[in-house]
Structures are given as structure tokens and as C-alpha cells.
Amino acid sequence: MNEALLHTIWKYRLLQQQEFTGTRGEAIRVVAVGEHNHNSGPDFFNAKISINGILLAGNVEIHVKTSDWLRHDHQHDKAYNNLVLHVVYEHDAELQQNQEFNVSVLELKQLVKPSLLDAYRELEHSRQVIPCGKSIGAVPDFHWTSWLERLAVERLERKASYMAHMFGYSGNDLEETLYIMLCRNFGFKINDDAFELLAKSLPYSILKRYADNLLRLEALLFGVAGLLDEPFEDAYPRLLQNEFELLRHKHQLIPLRKEIWKFSKTRPVNFPTIRLSQLAHVFFKSQSLYHLLELYPDMQSLQAFFQVGTHAYWETHFKFDTSSRRAAKPLGKTAFQSLVINTVVPFLFFSYARSGQQALMDYAMDLLSASDAEANKKTNVFAGLGKKASNALESQAQTELYDVFCSKKACLRCHVAEFLLKASL
């Protein structure tokens, strides 16, 4: 037995009754279990407990044994003075503080059903990647879907918090914030930090001045990236070099170290050289992404915006001065979906959090629902258990479920485990 399980039993009323008898024979009725406190202080705030017909409002503390109160030094902490009930699995000691403040003690040892403990032990000792894998198929679709929707929002909240950090960095400039996040996500994980550093070193206010000149856009991006700082044989990189030298002095730009860019352990089509050229083509538009989003574009309009390729040079190269077989290198569908999921949707959610405009929230969730589900190691595990994601909202939620709960065996905080424990009663 542990406190985390006792918290779950109390929070979700897994004792299947509301009326109990205290250790001193009191008639105890639980009206409201209270708000679960994950910080210091009593375990549940603002509970409502009737003791011998008198309704009390206050806090509830939960321990495996009554004597744990002393082991945790609660007797010296005034935060625990406003208790209305002390819930324990085993009542092994009479506490002076409980008697002094007339706090009733409720022992659960004879009230917790063995079937619930068996279900918990099965989760606790599971060796599967998804601890509840053997039982997850029993979870009703409605319960599963509602949990995924909540997890999707929690994941967006975390992404929005990172975007809030970027918002502060940009001087509270929404367009600059979107620009930084778009650049970061053009790194497609392996080069995301390098692309973010590039965006911070090359402000959008400079870049958008040359939105009608593709050569200068590429020169700025490749130059500040530090990829033009060497002698070249091919005409194209030498042309970029010459253009960048003028822009570098004009705007007092400082190139990054080229060593920050990762070429190994990634497919050539994902090399930073290819992504930088594609990014230049995104900025070479009559309309910026920021102003496009103000129009609430549908998925087809967004896809058209990101339907870009590279400079012709990159059709026969992956690196400067190194030829390769000719092939067009457009921004693919998977990359487009990733940009929508990781840039567009979190930006809309962040904008909703700032403005409170429900339409932004609805639009963000609609785009997630309209995007294809991601197929990766994490989502494939759930697919193998019969819970295949049908869209990006569900695949993002499954990723959150895997990262925050399953991989950490935090089952007692998961609503799937809540259902399975209730079903065991």
C-alpha cells in the first residue's frame, strides 16, 4: 500500500460508499472529497465532511499509517491545523493533535476491496511498455476519446508555454514569435536548436525587407547560418557569398558557427542546406504566414502556402560543391503536417490563451483533427493494442500519454487506470 494509491481511492471514490464509521465510532459521511493538492500542505483542500450530522468544511490528510503524521513532522506545521478528517489505511496510533483539534480518523484497511488491490498490482508490476496494455481494450471509446482530448489540450498548453517564452524574448512581438517557432520547427528535431538560434540571430524585421528577392533571402539564411564561410568552386555558393558580404555589413550580422549544424544521422533530404533553401522559398511569398493565419485558412490553403521547393542548385546537390543525382526536393506532406502540428496549431493556441478568443481555440483543434495521425514508435505501440490514432489530435494525445504517464508508470494519475480500477470493483 502507498499514499499515491490511497489518494486515487479517495479522489475517485473507489470505496463505493459515502457513509463510514470513524475510529471513535463517529458517523462520517463524505459530501465532497475536495481538491487534490500536489504541492506542500494537506492532500485535499476544501473537502466537505459530515461528522455525526454536523457538516464541516476543511482539509483532508491521507497516510498509510496514522503514525506517519509524526514521521512527516506534521505536528510542527500549522498548515495542517485546519483538518476535518485524517484518512489512513491502518490506524496504528492515537495522535495528540487529532485529539486536541477533535479530528476524526477514518481507517480504510477493511474497506478497500481485494479486487482493486489486485488490479493495481497488475499495473504496478507490468513489464509492458504500456502498463495497462493487457486491459486497455476494455476501455470504452467514449472514455478513451475524452481522455485523449484532454491530453491534447495539455500538450498544447506545454507548447504554448514555450511559445510564451519566445514571445517575451521577441519583445512581445507575435509575428517575430511565429517566425522563431517556424524556423525552429524547420529543423525537424535534429536541427531545431540550430534553426532557433538562426532565427534569433537574423530578426524577421530584416528578412522580410527582402521578401521579394529570393537570392538575398537565401544569402541571409545561409550566411547567418555560417555555411558560406569557406572557399567554393561552384558559382551558386560564390554568388551567395558575395551577396551576403554586402548584407552582413549593412545589417551588422554575425554568422553562427557552422559546426552547430547536424548532417549525420539524418536523411539527405533533411539536411539543413535543403531545409534552409525551402525556408527561403516560404519567406519568398506575397503574404506572410502570420497574416495568412489572420484569415483562418483551411488545410488546403495552408498546404498551398507551404508548397515550396528549393533553388535549382539543390536539385543536384545536398551540400555545396558536392554533386548528386538530380531530383526535385519539395517540402513533403509529412514535413507540412509537422509544421501545422508543431508551429501553426500551438501558435493559435497561444494566441487564444492571450486573447481568450474561443474561435482561435476551435480553429486550432479543428486543424489538429483535420491533420493526418503521426506514425512513430510511440503511436505504433497504441496501434498495436487496438487504439490506432485517427488524426493528429489523437496521435499528439497518445504521445503525451506515453511521455507523461506510460513511460513513467504514472498510472495512478491516468484516467485509463481510473477506469480499470473502478471496473475491478
Q: Give the pLDDT confidence of 145-168 residue by residue, as tens digits.
A: 999 999 999 999 999 999 999 999
pLDDT reported for residue 55 = 96
pLDDT reported for residue 353 = 93
pLDDT reported for residue 79 = 83
Strand partners, 27: 21
Average pLDDT, the chain: 95
Segment 28-38 shows an average pLDDT of 95
Segment 101-111 shows an average pLDDT of 93
pLDDT reported for residue 100 = 81
CB count within 10 Å of CB 379 equals: 22
pLDDT reported for residue 265 = 85
For residues 97 and 377, which has the higher predicted lDDT (pLDDT)? 377
Is 49 within 8 Å of 29 (Cβ atoms)? Answer: yes
For residues 5 and 79, which has the higher predicted lDDT (pLDDT)? 5
pLDDT at 230 over 90: yes
Q: Residue 79: which region, alpha, beta or left (left: phi > 0; alpha: psi -120 to 50)?
A: alpha
pLDDT reported for residue 295 = 95
User: How far is C-alpha 419 from the chain's CA centre?
Assistant: 23
Of all residues in the chain, the percent with pLDDT exceeding 90 is 92
Is 339 within 8 Å of 156 (Cβ atoms)? Answer: no
pLDDT reported for residue 102 = 87
* 336: amino acid identity, one letter: F
What are the residue ranges spanned by the domains of the chain? Answer: 3-112, 170-331
Segment 356-370 shows an average pLDDT of 96
In this predicted model, what pLDDT tens digit does every residue of 71-104 receive, in sequence order?
Answer: 988 888 888 888 999 999 999 999 888 888 889 9
Q: Kindly report the pTM of this predicted structure.
A: 0.87
pLDDT reported for residue 76 = 83
For residues 316 and 98, which has the higher predicted lDDT (pLDDT)? 316
